[in-house]
Amino acid sequence: MIPRYAPKDVAALFGDVARFDAMLEVELLAAEALAELGVVPTADADACRSRRPIIDEAFVEAVNDREAITNHDTAAFVDIVQDRIGAPEGSWIHYGLTSSDVVDTALCWQLTKAADVLIADAEAFVAVLVRRAHELIDVPVLGRTHGMHAEPTTYGAKMSLFALAANRDLDRLKRARSIIAVGKLSGAVGTYSNIDPFVEDFVCERLGLQPVPATQVIARDRHAELLWACTAVAATIEHLATEIRHMARSELGEVEEAFAPGQKGSSAMPHKRNPILSERLCGMARVMRGYLSAGIEDVALWHERDISHSSVERIVLPDALMLTAYMLRKATGLVDGLVINAERAKYNLEVGSLGLVYSQSVLLRMIDEGLTRDAAYRIVQRAARQAVEERRAFREILIADPEMTLDEASLDEAFSLDRVLKHRSRYLDALSEVGG
C-alpha cells in the first residue's frame, strides 16, 4: 500500500520486521513446546528464548541476502535465526515443522491483531452514525427513488439506516476475526507425522489462536471471509459516500463536506467545494472489490498445497486491511463533520418539489372519499403532470380541478409533513440494538 493510504499503526503490523518477529515467536514457542515433551532439552529451549534475535531492518537485510542464495525466504529466515542464536541450541529451531506451519500461523496472528484494530475503528464509525441519526431525526429532507422526488424523509432516518448497515459490517468483522484467529503446526501435509499435536495446541494457546485441522496450509476460505468483511465495510462506506455526493450537487445543496480554513476546492475555480473525500472513498471501494476477487481465487489450491496464493496474499491482505482502516477513519470524520443545509433541504421539499411529494397521500384520501383507485390515480397523475409542465404548485392545480373530491381539511391532512413523518422514531428504536 502506498504511504498516502496506509495508516501507520496497521502498516506496522505487516512490515517485514513485524512479519519476521511473528514468525520467530512461533518458532520459539514450538521449541518450548518440544521441551515440554522432552524432545528438546529445556536448557536449549531456554537458550533459544534468551538469545532471541532482535528483529530490525538489519535482520531483514540479512534474511534477504541469505534468500538470494537459498531462493526460499522461510529457509533463509531459519538459517539467520539459527545463526544468531548459535549452535548447538539454535539447531532446534524449526524442528519437525514445515514452512507453512510458521508462516500461516504467524500470518493469522498478524491478521487477528489487525482485525482488532478494524473492529475498534468500525465501532467508532457506528457510534458517529448513531449520534448524527439522533441529532437529525427531526430534520426533514426529500426522499428520492430512481433519482426522482419521492416522499419526505429525514436526515436522521438516512443516518439510521447507514448506522444499521455499518453495525452489520461490524458483526461481519467480528465473525471474520474469529474465523481467522487460528493456527496449525501439523507438518508437511497436516498429519502430524513429525510433530506432536501438543506443539500445535501449546503454540496456539499462547498466541490466542484456535488450532485447526489443515493440509500443509490453513484453508484459504478463512482469509477470503476476512476480505469479504473488509469489502462489505467498503461497500457501506461507498453507499454513504455516494449519497453525500448526490446531495452535495449544486442543484440540491442539501449537504456539504467539512471545508477547512485554507482548503482549496479547485485549482481553477475558487467557488468550488467538491465532495472530494466522498469521491475518494468510492474509488477505494472499487479497489477493495479487486482484493476480494483475488482472495476468492486463492481458495482452490492443488492437493495439500501449492504456493499460487502466497504472492497474492503478500499484496492483498496487508493492503486490504490497511485500506479498510483508512476508509473507516475517513468515513467517521466525514460523517462527524458533515454540514447539513437544513434550510436548503426545506426549500427543495416545500418549493422545489411543487408539493408533488404528497401525491400518494392525495391519492389515498380520494380513495377514502369513494373513488376507485384507477379514477383517483388518473386525476392525481394529470394534476401532477400539469404542475411539472407549468411549474405551479400541485395543490393549487388540484383545487382548481373540477373532478377533485377533497375539501380543504382533507388536503391539509394529505399535505401534512408531520403526518408523513410521524413514525420516524422507529428508526431510533432500531438503533437501540446497536447501543444507540
What residues are annotated to the active site?
A: 146, 266
Instruction: Determine the 3-state secondary structure of 370 from DSSP.
Output: coil
**Around Cβ 409, how many Cβ atoms within 10 Å?**
8
Burial label for 336, CB within 10 Å (0-12, 13-18, 19+), is: middle
Question: How many residues make up the chain in this entry?
Answer: 436
Which one-letter amino acid corresponds to residue 205? E
Tell me whether strands 182-183 and 210-211 are parallel, antiparallel or unpaired: parallel
C-alpha–C-alpha distance, residues 63 and 395, integer Å: 78
**Around Cβ 164, how many Cβ atoms within 10 Å?**
21
Q: What is the DSSP letter of 255?
A: E
- The torsion defined by the Cα of 189, 191, 196 and 202, in degrees rounded to 10, comes to 70
C-alpha–C-alpha distance, residues 213 and 179, integer Å: 13
Query: Which residue matches cell numbers 391519492?
Result: 363
C-alpha–C-alpha distance, residues 222 and 7, integer Å: 24
